[in-house]
Amino acid sequence: MFVVVALFFIWGGLTSLNDILIPKLKGMFSLSYTEAMLTQFAFFTSYFIVSLPAGNLIARVGYLKGIVIGLGTMALGCLLFIPASGSATYSTFLLALFVLAGGITVLQVAANPLIANMGSAATASSRLTLAQAFNSLGTTIFPPIGGAIILGTMAKVDPAGLPEAERTAFLARESAVIGNAYLLIAAILILLAAYFWWRRDQMSTSRESRISYSGSFSLLKQPRLGGGVAAIFLYVGAEVSIGSMLINYLAQDNILGVTEQAAAGLIALYWGGAMLGRFIGAAVLRLLSPGLVLAAFCIGAASLAAISGLSSGVFAGYALLAVGLMNSIMFPTIFSLGLEGLGDRTPQGSGLLCMGIVGGAFIPLLVGAVADSSTLSMALAVPISCYLLIAIFGWSARNVAR
């Protein structure tokens, strides 16, 4: 369990770095909000494509080798930032993010059901919430460090207005910062993969029988799993959308009016709230119905986002940051509720639930389009709607599935 929980920390931190890349790439390539959100589209589309094949892969090679393959793929994605930096082309950065997310997907498909099944089904939500707390620890630590490294050198200049030679030099300089940061991350991931491979015979894992996915989608007819996939889609989309817009949102003169680097540091409060809420939620979910707790937290998130969008100044900024606390128990609770009652078909259900993470690709694009046509405050209407729909799922899943 300790080894699996450590992986939650790693992929959480790497996913949160997307929130740092968005304002960086937006400034470098003079992107609109919709174009900038393509970073999340590239990243989370990988979940949709890779999830089911990842489940089949893990069934064939075992959990530990699956972890090694996932870490290796993540390292490859990080290394692709080097040629992306050399070309200084937006599309190459998107390709690197897609590959990186593919590796993270392999880890997710294995780790979430593994934690959920390490004990009583009645406390699965509690265990997964505790593991996700360490995921949030990664998302809390990485953004301030990434902001200092990646955004710290960001020049206050619009590259679109520079002469061609100066613009080329500007893009090369700013791209190199990103490439060097991900090169260091790749080195760490390779060392971790080597360590897990070395310890492969000392870690207790069980190899599943080969899974056939020909009938996987028929599982969506089960209301609990089908609703869970939809709720994961909406939750990840809402969480990613808010995290992606936070730096630009907080930097507005009518909100906090801080620099982008300072705003990157404040993101730690958003993800830190999720971490704190998950540690608390791990205990609360042992006492109360997970479905009811989920519904209550969703209403809280929607209320805070609405308060932020309808106000301004410090109050608006910190109200939106507080949504992180409400997000805390949502993913692990939805995931465990979706898997209830699947028995031997749990791995297939896990793959389908992970496919729902593709919401992080599409919903941020919608948020970006609304922001471009109106304001960032108006764009909050999209995640608010998502939270209210998830609350309905939580209420419907308040009783244990049979």
Give residue 93's pLDDT band: very low, low, confident or very high (50, 70, 90).
very high
Question: Number of helices and strands (H, E) in the chain?
Answer: 19, 0
Say if residue 40's pLDDT is above 90. no
Joined tokens for residue 347: 């791995």
Give residue 171's pLDDT band: very low, low, confident or very high (50, 70, 90).
confident
Residue 50 CA from chain centroid, whole number: 15
Q: How confident is the prediction for the chain on average, in pLDDT?
A: 84
Neighbour count for residue 176 (Cβ, 10 Å): 15
Dihedral pair phi/psi, residue 341, rounded to 5°: 80, 10
- Alpha carbon distance 246, 271 (integer Å): 11
- Alpha carbon distance 389, 383 (integer Å): 10
- Alpha carbon distance 214, 348 (integer Å): 10
Residue 157 exposure: Cα atoms within 13 Å on the Cβ side: 14
- Alpha carbon distance 227, 249 (integer Å): 31
pLDDT in the model for residue 130: 79
Q: What is the pLDDT of residues 362-378, one digit of tens each?
A: 999 999 999 999 999 99
Which region among 125-139, 147-161, 229-243, 361-375 has the lowest average model confidence (pLDDT)? 147-161
Smallest Cα–Cα separation from 92: which of 164, 20, 179?
179
Smallest Cα–Cα separation from 363: which of 381, 350, 351?
381
Contact indicator for 357, 349 with CB cutoff of 8 Å: no
Smallest Cα–Cα separation from 18: which of 84, 87, 91, 100?
100
Residues 6+ apart with CB under 8 A from 325: 273, 274, 276, 277
Give residue 108's pLDDT band: very low, low, confident or very high (50, 70, 90).
confident
The one-letter amino acid at 370: V
Contact indicator for 45, 134 with CB cutoff of 8 Å: no
pLDDT in the model for residue 190: 93
Give residue 156's pLDDT band: very low, low, confident or very high (50, 70, 90).
low
User: Is pLDDT larger for residue 66 or for residue 49?
Assistant: 49
Neighbour count for residue 308 (Cβ, 10 Å): 24
Residues 6+ apart with CB under 8 A from 218: none
Average pLDDT over residues 161-178: 76
The pTM score is: 0.76
pLDDT in the model for residue 152: 64
Q: What percentage of residues in the chain have a pLDDT greater than 90?
A: 34
79-87 contacts, C-beta under 8 A, 24 or more apart: 79/182, 79/183, 79/186, 81/178, 81/179, 81/181, 81/182, 81/183, 82/179, 82/182, 82/183, 84/175, 84/178, 84/179, 85/175, 85/176, 85/178, 85/179, 86/175, 86/179
Joined tokens for residue 156: 């206050």
pLDDT in the model for residue 74: 94
Average pLDDT over residues 116-124: 69
Give residue 401's pLDDT band: very low, low, confident or very high (50, 70, 90).
low
Average pLDDT over residues 133-160: 75
The one-letter amino acid at 318: Y
Q: What is the pLDDT of residues 301-337, one digit of tens each?
A: 999 999 999 999 999 999 999 999 999 899 989 988 9
Contact indicator for 286, 393 with CB cutoff of 8 Å: no
Give residue 18's pLDDT band: very low, low, confident or very high (50, 70, 90).
confident
User: Is pLDDT larger for residue 125 or for residue 296?
Assistant: 296
Say if residue 65's pLDDT is above 60. yes
pLDDT in the model for residue 256: 93
pLDDT in the model for residue 344: 65
Joined tokens for residue 299: 């209403």
pLDDT in the model for residue 361: 87
Q: What percentage of residues in the chain have a pLDDT greater than 70?
A: 89
pLDDT in the model for residue 172: 78
Residues 6+ apart with CB under 8 A from 62: 205, 206, 207, 208
Residue 134 CA from chain centroid, whole number: 13
- Alpha carbon distance 173, 86 (integer Å): 10
Segment of 31-35, 102-106, 153-157, 344-348 carrying the highest mean pLDDT: 102-106
DSSP 8-state class, residue 402? -
pLDDT in the model for residue 154: 56
